[in-house]
Amino acid sequence: MKVEVENLGPCKRALKVEIPKEVVDAAFSEAYDKLKREVKVPGFRPGKAPISILRARFGDYVKAEVMEKLFKEYYEKALEEAGVTPALDPDFQDVEFDEGKAFSFKVVMEIHPEFELKDYEGIEIEKKRYVITDEEVDRFIDELREQMATFEDKEDGVAEMGNLVIIDYEAFEGDKPIEGGKVEGATYVLGSGETVEGFDEQVVGKKVGEEFEVKVSFSKEHFNKELAGKEVTFKCKLKGVKKRIVPELNEEFAKKFEVESVEALREKVKAQLEEEYERRSKLEALDQLAEKLVEGYDFPLPETLVEDELKKRMERYEMDLRIKGVEPKKEELEKKKEEFREEVEKNLRLVYILRKIAEKEGLEVTRGDVEERIEEIAKKSNIPLDKVAGILQQTGRLQSIIEDILTKKTLEFLYEKAKVIEREEVVGKEKKEGDE
């Protein structure tokens, strides 16, 4: 076999592969011999049909079979001889294949980057040791109380900011009703930002049973093209007003969290906050470690890999904007794309660096690691374990999960080797000082 390597760029190669005629002929001969033994040709005893007849009847089938066999056997050998590994699916060009001739083809591929590892042990990082104050515990408990608030009918029936309102409305542009603009029993909290700007303020002060009009202007960037840039009148009827009731902090409230007293609730909350902040501290330290690890590396990356990831980032970004009712502008998207490009390239370099460290240190993902992660996904998604495993396998996400596990395992390895400097940070201290 003859293999020629053409350098098309830092992470791009072209391989010209030629498999000798003798090898091709031998493969055809073997295929026809096998076919002769297996097929029945009218007028001939088994195994006695001439090659010329077999070629006429089964030539296309044999050609395809021989080509597939030779390709599987020699493509991997060609990659090994050239010392390259495709980073993405390669592009096959200039394929020449026929009986009695050499088999040649060209493979254009982007390859994984080559670079030398720098020293990765003893990286200095800072880890925060969070101290949970009583003020932070109180703040968290107040949030719990807010989350468990209920609503009850307001005695005077007059709407105020923070009240939950039940309202019927129909939207008009001038005197013309807007299609799909009639809603009965709409329920939301005044001031929550769920409605178009200026709507809630015109509902405030209205009383249950009252009919009124609300006039608002929709921005030109509004996601609903039918409403964008228009003046709209809503003919409304207030059906109900409910005030928010926040539960008192007492033993009854504490028992909802499986403790018997307010003091026990405070202790439980503090323990949970300490655990949560410790996890946050570790994640922050690992992020810092990753940032420092990738510093000083500027090796080239497979461009298609960068562009594919960049495309995904931009699609998610545009979708998020549209969900918020904002129509993205071309110049803003171009600016954001360049910001994302820098992030994407840094993240890809980190992945390559961690892979190389893992290989050097013999770090591997075990079957137990994968099973544990799949169990986590199954619990969070409330889907049976075997179905989750099947979905991951079918969608190709299993490999990305394996890579993610290896990344985290390698970062943990580096964390154990790092020089970790702890710094105390009091949680809630700034809030306390600001209140004084």
pLDDT digit string, tens, across residues 240-270:
999 999 999 999 999 999 999 999 999 999 9
In contact, 244 and 163? CB cutoff 8 Å: yes
Closest by Cα among 304, 293, 273, 334 to 110:
304
Residues belonging to the chain: 436
**Whether residue 435 has pLDDT greater than 60:** no
- Alpha-carbon distance 431 to 133, whole Å? 10
Give the model's confidence band at 359: pLDDT under 50 very low, under 70 low, under 90 confident, else very high.
Answer: very high
Closest by Cα among 103, 107, 104, 78 to 14:
107
Rg (CA), the chain: 34
> CATH 1.10.3120.10 occupies which residues in the chain?
259-435
pLDDT at position 48: 67
**Whether residue 53 has pLDDT greater than 80:** no
pLDDT at position 300: 94
**Whether residue 105 has pLDDT greater than 60:** yes
> CATH 3.10.50.40 occupies which residues in the chain?
150-245
Long-range contacts of 264-271 (CB under 8 A, 24+ apart): 265/141, 266/134, 266/137, 266/141, 269/137, 269/140, 269/141, 269/144, 270/132, 270/137
The predicted model scores a pTM of 0.72
Tell me which fold the domain 2-110 belongs to: Alpha-Beta Plaits (3.30.70)
> CATH 3.30.70.1050 occupies which residues in the chain?
2-110
pLDDT at position 356: 95
3-class state of residue 103 by DSSP: strand
pLDDT digits (tens, 9 = 90+) for 364-411: 999 898 888 888 888 888 888 878 878 887 777 888 889 999 999 999
**Whether residue 88 has pLDDT greater than 90:** no
Greatest C-alpha distance within the chain: 106
**Mean of the per-residue pLDDT values for the chain?**
89
3-class state of residue 41 by DSSP: coil
pLDDT at position 39: 72
In contact, 246 and 145? CB cutoff 8 Å: yes
**Whether residue 42 has pLDDT greater than 80:** no
pLDDT at position 207: 95
Written as six digits, the tokens of 233 are 């009148």
Q: How many CB atoms lie within 10 A of CB 27?
A: 20
Written as six digits, the tokens of 139 are 């703040």
| The CATH number fitting domain 150-245, selected from 3.40.190.10, 3.10.50.40, 3.30.420.270, 3.40.50.1860 | 3.10.50.40
**Whether residue 432 has pLDDT greater than 60:** no
- Alpha-carbon distance 328 to 162, whole Å? 32
Could you tell me which residue, 192 or 38, shows the higher pLDDT?
Answer: 192
**Whether residue 431 has pLDDT greater than 60:** no
Closest by Cα among 137, 224, 238 to 184:
238
| CATH architecture of the domain with range 259-435 | Orthogonal Bundle (1.10)
Written as six digits, the tokens of 410 are 């390698």
